[in-house]
Structure 1
Amino acid sequence: MNINHIVQNLFQENLFSNKALELRDGQLVYGKLTKLFPQQMAEVQIGSQKMFANLTIPLMVDQSYWFQVSVTDDKPVLKVLTQVQEVSAEKGNIKGLLQQLQLPDVKENRLLMSYLLSNNLPITKESIMSIMEWLPSSLGKQELSIIGLMLERELPLTKEVFNSLSSLQTGKGFSALIEELKQQLSAHEIKEPNLNNLLSSLREGGNIGEENNVDILKAIFQKIGYSFEAGLLKRAPMGEEQASNQEMLKPILLELMGKDVPVAVKETAGQLIDKVTGYQLMSQQTGPIMQVIAEIPLRFFNQQVDVTVQYNGRKTTDGKVDSSYCRILFYLELAHLKDTVIDITIQNRIMNMSILNDRASEIMPMIKQADEPLKDKLRELEYQLMSVHARPLTKEDKPLWSSQQPIQVKAYKGVDIKI
């Protein structure tokens, strides 16, 4: 269960989640007219869901049609696509759909359209054309799942976003990249004091188990630059902003990319930038609900490890993180215990903790020994620890990252759609 495996699970879970149908402006949908009613009313089935529609043109029962969605006054209106006489409009006929959209009938386009259709992902002519500008020639399952996630989360359909998300499924972890860049700077005698100091600080990390674990995590998040763009929005005074940027890895690396340094150095720096950006894109906030996903280098019992942290919770009315209700998961690959997940659930400051590891039976006696000291320590922080359990990892123990829900059209009464 390394980081690549975790993120691959995330991408697949997003695409195969069973969600209610949400119609977006410009989206193409394939629906079947199932019933006709008086006053030009009809029942249309789109996927597994049925909607009422007001017919403005004659359609035949038990026939399927391609429709394009137009959202007017928060109500989705479906327009039947003009059919090309010699091409069937069947959902499985990718060639026919490409022809109707006036898009090239090439292998990559057929693979992309087939994948999006089979996973019920939103399709618009504009989004497909944007993707085609940078669509990889070697289009496999991994590339398609990333594109699907970009559409699902309504991320910008650019090559830069694609590369950042790709970096989470492939490549090296933070610790390896930090060490590699530090060695390259030394080998090429590149004088970057701020960067060297920051890389050394991150490589040393913090030793989890010390008294100031929370401060350690906060400091590492800050040093990596996960909040870099958010900090820019605060419009700090120029001098303070520049000083702060020199303490963050991401802005320093962005500055390095504009300098005359060897290609190998830029490649490693670029991989680190992509990794930070990828996790920023995976984190999200919808109203008061927030989700943070990040990878950070830490030290556990003098062993350097890359830890993936997932925080699910909400913000209070004053904009602060609500520490009374949340869920935090740590995904680790330890030297001796190997794959380990620490799952912490907090409800009204009452905490339950699960440790998932294939050596759960060996770990449980050690947990019992540390149970009372842990309860005492948490009590000082005004938390009550109810239970700590250990159990083996299973295939079902996948990350709980969920896709960002697309903006829904507002609820209304009466006709669902107008055709």
Structure 2
Amino acid sequence: MSSTITALFQSFSQMAKETRLPLKEGQYVTGKVVNMLPKKQAIVQIGNQKLRAQLDASLTSGEHYLMQVKQINNNSVLRVISDRPLSSTENIIQVLKAVDKSPTALNIYMVQQLINRGYRFTRHTLFEGLSILEENGGSSGTKDVLLQMFKNQFPIKESIFQALKTRGSASLTQVLAELTNQKKWENQRLQDLSLLLTGKKPFTSLTKTIKSQLLSELSAGEQTSFSLLKQANINPPQTYYDNFKQQTASIIGRSLENLVTLEEAEQILEHSLEKEQRILAPFKTSDVKNKLAELFKDQLPLTHREIRILKEWSQQIYKLTQSEPPNSAVLTHTTQLIKDESIFLKMKPFLGEGLEQVLQQVDRSSLNQKLQSRFIHTLLTLIQRQVPPDSQAQLLEWVLRGDLFDVNHKETYLLKLKSMMNLSGFQDEALLLKNAEQYRLKGMSIKSLLIQNLQENGAPLNEGVKQALNMLNGIQLLSQHETAHTLQLSMQLPGPLMKMDEDAFVHLEGRKNKNGEIDPDSCHIIFYLQLEQLKETVIDLRIIQRQVNVTIFNDRTNVAAVVESYKNKLSIGLEKLGYQLISLVVKEGKVNTRASLTQLNRQGVDVRV
């Protein structure tokens, strides 16, 4: 990982450090005595929070001390380890003795760093951390990873250490490339997904994947693929699930009442090309691709809740077009929500001026019947084509597998970013908790397949599998930092997926709105890219109240002229999305990450920009 990326992530971590972490009994903490009170009580500052605590010794106001949390309540109890200066050798040796570790130079260094930086630890976590340090040697990389684990309050385990170490030293591009080069995978899906995420053509075609998933789901009574095909108009809207299941069973010549795994479904289709071609007939491969691409393009940049609000609102407007009285309370409430939550701005690229005109007419209670009817028909059709959250990952995989967009299409990069999130396995835990059987039917992610391979196969493949698994776990561990009010998201993408040679990095900063979601009106996004012509490039994108300021850092000459030639196109594109380009600046030289990032405006994120 380059020094620029390292500096970026250190700056991100510095900002995350502001979080108020709860105290836990048994923790060693660095505390500043703000003010001594009678009866050995004091106001103590620990990190960025102050508390009233009972001490077991009288201390000097304004000084820092090493303390241990003994009790947490309205009047916390802190045990003072020593009344000597914070980083005195006596403090460190006393702590090492408590965890039964020798006062070696390496151990003393690590404890001293933890104390000086104010990182919290317990006897158990310190013992585990020093054991990892002894096992892996005292290189600067090892020490940095351990300090990162303590700072973020990660579990101090060897598996977490290896994940973060791999993430900091290896390339995701190279790790996935090695997976695609393996010749002995028993599960073709693992190699296929690795190929997809490195921008290469998978072994299994789009249509065969759809049909295999369809057979497996039909046998389990699951309707995800069936519903997606109907939404894309590949299956006619009047097609009934039970009839379709019976027809498909007749085509393949076997019952679909017993579970058919994905692997079994693929074998069924491999043994008879004629049977495969009859499923989804009369549509050709090109028809399927075009209809899936159209469905993906119609997906609105709205949350599930926002779609529900829009649907409720449109249903009330529809009643007006049918000369029926609407529910005035629902109409008024949803109209206000559409305005307040920027739904109007997000919908403008899809509906043009129609939405604004209808909203104005609702406000004036002077509705144009003809305009309403035409507009509501378009809106309701669009709403019906919205894919449910549980099916979005499947649509993403199909679109990516079919290579349905040109490299310069505006939706391509959004598709690839979402695909990395879904296919890599970053959301596995949440999906498995929600519905393990449904997740298995849809086909496991790279991460799940790696775990399965590690459990089933012998040593020859294990090292490559372990490295890939550690890499994905490391990226996931550092991908999100959330507080009550803000959200940070850091993503690492394989270069070939984005048509680059090396990994790409994206960092997003946002403040949550009143609904606990990211406010899209203001945000700060940083892209770190290795471009073919411009080489190392950092793009700093700041959006405040939908006004956009872009700064590009690059150390090559004549970049400003190239960027300027795209300014008008960028401005028009942003305007269509409801944003205004305020400035586009190119600065030669490396990005001053600390100066740039300490002034972040943490106010939401709109990944579509």
Using the size of structure 2 for normalisation, the TM-score is 0.55
State the partner residue of 1:392: 588
1:277 paired with 2:274, answer: no
1:338 paired with 2:535, answer: yes
Q: Do the aligned residues in 1 keep the contact of 2:67 with 2:79 (CA within 8 Å)?
A: yes
Where 1:168 maps in the other structure, the secondary structure is helix
Q: Do the aligned residues in 1 keep the contact of 2:146 with 2:161 (CA within 8 Å)?
A: yes
Name the structure where strand makes up a greater proportion of residues.
Answer: 1
1:365-376 maps to which residues of 2 (within 5 A)? Answer: 365-376=561-572
Where 1:169 maps in the other structure, the secondary structure is helix
Question: 2: distance between equivalents of 1:374 and 1:12?
Answer: 28
Deviations 1:290-321 (A, max 9, x none): 21112112459954332111111144455544
State the partner residue of 1:309: 506
1:200 paired with 2:195, answer: yes
Question: 2: distance between equivalents of 1:370 and 1:72?
Answer: 58
Where 1:313 maps in the other structure, the secondary structure is strand
State the partner residue of 2:416: 216
Where 1:291 maps in the other structure, the secondary structure is strand
1:120-159 maps to which residues of 2 (within 5 A)? Answer: 120-135=118-133, 136-159=135-158
Q: Do the aligned residues in 1 keep the contact of 2:197 with 2:497 (CA within 8 Å)?
A: no
**Letter paired with 1:228:** D
Where 2:126 maps in the other structure, the secondary structure is helix
Question: 1: distance between equivalents of 2:47 and 2:193?
Answer: 52
Question: 2: distance between equivalents of 1:66 and 1:340?
Answer: 43
Unaligned runs of 5+ in 1: 403-419
Using the size of structure 1 for normalisation, the TM-score is 0.78
Which residue of 90, 103, 106 maps to 1:105?
A: 103
**Identity %, equivalent residues:** 23
Where 2:9 maps in the other structure, the secondary structure is helix
Shift of the 262–75 alpha-carbon distance from structure 1 to 2, 3 Å rule, reads same
Question: 2: distance between equivalents of 1:374 and 1:223?
Answer: 30
Q: Do the aligned residues in 2 keep the contact of 1:15 with 1:148 (CA within 8 Å)?
A: no
Unaligned runs of 5+ in 2: 201-399, 401-405, 600-609
Question: 2: distance between equivalents of 1:60 and 1:324?
Answer: 48
Shift of the 313–34 alpha-carbon distance from structure 1 to 2, 3 Å rule, reads closer
Q: Do the aligned residues in 2 keep the contact of 1:333 with 1:339 (CA within 8 Å)?
A: yes
**Letter paired with 1:335:** E
Which residue of 170, 179, 193 maps to 1:181?
A: 179
* RMSD value, Cα: 3.9
Shift of the 76–211 alpha-carbon distance from structure 1 to 2, 3 Å rule, reads same
State the Cα distance separating 1:73 from its structure 2 match: 1.5
Q: Which sits farther off after the overlay, 150-159 or 297-306?
A: 297-306
Question: 2: distance between equivalents of 1:378 and 1:31?
Answer: 48
Shift of the 330–75 alpha-carbon distance from structure 1 to 2, 3 Å rule, reads farther
Considering Cα pairs closer than 8 Å and 6+ residues apart, tell me whether 1 or 2 has the greater RCO.
1
Q: Which sits farther off after the overlay, 344-353 or 56-65?
A: 56-65
State the partner residue of 2:427: 227
Where 1:344 maps in the other structure, the secondary structure is strand
Name the structure where helix makes up a greater proportion of residues.
Answer: 2
Q: Which sits farther off after the overlay, 334-343 or 17-26?
A: 17-26
Q: Do the aligned residues in 2 keep the contact of 1:295 with 1:308 (CA within 8 Å)?
A: yes
Q: What count of residue pairs does the alignment treat as equivalent?
A: 389
Question: 1: distance between equivalents of 2:493 and 2:36?
Answer: 58
Instruction: Return the index of the structure with the highest Cα Rg.
Output: 2
Which residue of 429, 440, 456 maps to 1:242?
A: 440
State the partner residue of 2:89: 92
1:287 paired with 2:285, answer: no
Question: 1: distance between equivalents of 2:143 and 2:16?
Answer: 16
